[in-house]
């Protein structure tokens, strides 16, 4: 079968006319849409510029001045800051007190401060992703239309996960900061709760697309819900689950850095302090470390996902 446009019976001219009309109508809609988008964009730019403390065109010539503090007087200070080695400039000020942050583990062996902070951030991301995974898996089987034990339960779980996903992480972090004291635990709770919602949604969408024949086979031999999920459904979806969880690890490392910057501890907090005080060498060391870590985690996770589910691991959204 081929797709065909029904042409008016009387003549090729009328066909051409129709075609021309349709094209010009489409062109009109395209132009309208693009100009609306452009208008929205320009007014947004104006609004953002108005509301900002410094204005775009006033600040633009000074962008490079701002970069000047970032260039350290001695490039070796970047390495010294990264590995907590004493700098010849150390006069006790916060800008160059590199060795102060050493975390001694065994005798003279120490972990540099920034590596310790990075480790905290990564651990927050890993633990919260784990929390997300553990809760999202059972939730996703309840929330999937084809597998749910009860439709009402499905609706409750779905709404609950939506709420977790939409609830601003920063509020949960702030609430728990007041309860368990500021620091990584509050960040774990906030990111973990968010991950439950985010992973749960992705998971149940996978579940709704599985091959139901295995499930039917197990139903036929009298398996109960848990057995069906465990032996018919889980083996089909697990590679995809793990792939999405790895993707979530990447997102959560970033989230935990940001939550860190607003009081969740870890490298984000240090970075924020260092940038706001204009410590060039320290900032470069932190950016370098953070960049490398995120890059390595992204690449490793991408490699692992490609091994697990192939190229489809990279289709987002669509």
CA-based nearest residue to 266, from 185, 195, 196, 190: 185
Q: Which of residues 250-269 bind other proteins (CB under 8 A)?
A: 254-255, 257-259, 261-262, 268
Least spacing, CB of residue 236 vs other proteins, in Å: 16
Residues 22, 24, 28: CA angle, nearest 5 degrees: 115
Rounded-to-integer distance, Cα 39 and Cα 288, Å: 39
CA atoms lying within 13 Å on the CB side of residue 83: 6
Among 149, 168, 235, 310, binds other proteins (CB under 8 A): 168
Q: In the chain, what's the furthest Cα-to-Cα distance? A: 96
Smaller CB distance to other proteins: residue 149 or 310?
A: 310
Minimum CB separation of residue 92 from other proteins in Å reads 25
CB of 259 to other proteins, least distance (A): 7
CB of 77 to other proteins, least distance (A): 19
**How much helix, strand and coil, in percent to the nearest 5, is found in the chain?**
75, 0, 20
Residue 104: which H helix or E strand, with range? strand 103-106
Q: Is 4 an interacting residue with respect to other proteins (CB under 8 A)?
A: no
Sites for other proteins among residues 94-123 (CB under 8 A): 119-120, 123
Does 205 bind other proteins (CB under 8 A)? Our answer is no
48 versus 86: smaller Cβ distance to other proteins: 48
Contact criterion met (CB below 8 Å) for 207 and 233: yes
230 binds other proteins per the rule CB under 8 A: no
Q: Residue 15, interface with other proteins (CB under 8 A)?
A: no
**Minimum distance of other proteins from residue 66's CB (angstroms):** 5
From the centroid of its chain, how far is CA 318?
Answer: 17
Nearer to other proteins, 243 or 257 (CB): 257
Neighbours of 104 (CB within 10 A): 9
Our finding on whether 85 is near other proteins (CB under 8 A) is no
42-81 mask for other proteins (x: CB under 8 A)? --xx-xxx-xxxxxx--x--xx--x---------------
Between 141 and 183, CB nearer to other proteins: 183
When asked if residue 179 is in the footprint of other proteins (CB under 8 A), the reply is yes
Cα 175–Cα 179–Cα 180 angle in degrees, nearest 5: 115
What count of Cα atoms within 13 Å lies in the side-chain half-sphere of residue 299? 6
Indicate the length of the chain as a whole number. Answer: 318
Q: Which of 115, 117, 121 is nearest to 255 (CA)?
A: 121
d(CA 142, CA 152): 10
Question: What does the binding site for other proteins look like in residue numbers (CB under 8 A)?
Answer: 1-3, 37, 40-41, 44-45, 47-49, 51-56, 59, 62-63, 66, 119-120, 123, 126-127, 130, 163, 166-171, 174-175, 178-181, 183-185, 188, 254-255, 257-259, 261-262, 268, 271-272, 275-276, 287, 290-291, 294-295, 298, 311, 314, 316-318
């Amino acid at each position: 079968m081929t797709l065909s446009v029904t042409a008016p019976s009387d003549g090729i001219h009328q066909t051409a006319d129709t075609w021309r009309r349709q094209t010009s109508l489409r062109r009109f809609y395209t132009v309208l849409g693009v100009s609306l988008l452009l208008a929205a964009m320009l007014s947004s730019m104006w609004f953002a510029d108005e509301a900002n403390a410094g204005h775009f065109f006033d600040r633009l010539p000074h962008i490079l001045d701002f970069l000047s503090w970032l260039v350290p007087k001695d490039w070796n200070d970047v390495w010294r800051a990264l590995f907590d080695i004493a700098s010849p400039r150390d006069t006790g000020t916060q800008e160059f007190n590199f060795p102060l942050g050493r975390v001694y583990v065994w005798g003279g062996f120490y972990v540099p401060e920034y590596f310790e902070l990075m480790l905290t951030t990564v651990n927050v991301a890993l633990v919260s992703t784990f929390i997300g995974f553990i809760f999202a898996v059972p939730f996703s089987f309840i929330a999937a239309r084809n597998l749910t034990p009860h439709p009402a339960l499905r609706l409750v779980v779905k709404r609950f996960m939506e709420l977790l996903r939409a609830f601003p992480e920063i509020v949960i972090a702030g609430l728990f900061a007041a309860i368990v004291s500021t620091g990584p635990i509050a960040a774990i709770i906030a990111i973990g709760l968010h991950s439950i919602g985010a992973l749960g949604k992705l998971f149940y969408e996978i579940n709704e697309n599985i091959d139901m024949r295995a499930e039917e086979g197990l139903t036929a031999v009298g398996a109960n819900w848990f057995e069906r999920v465990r032996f018919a459904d889980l083996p089909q979806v697990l590679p995809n689950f793990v792939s999405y969880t790895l993707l979530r690890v990447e997102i959560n490392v970033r989230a935990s850095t940001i939550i860190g910057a607003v009081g969740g501890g870890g490298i984000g907090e240090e970075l924020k302090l260092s940038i706001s005080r204009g410590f060039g060498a320290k900032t470069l060391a932190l950016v370098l470390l953070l960049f490398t870590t995120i890059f390595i985690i992204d690449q490793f996770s991408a490699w692992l996902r490609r091994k697990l589910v192939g190229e489809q691991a990279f289709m987002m959204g669509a």
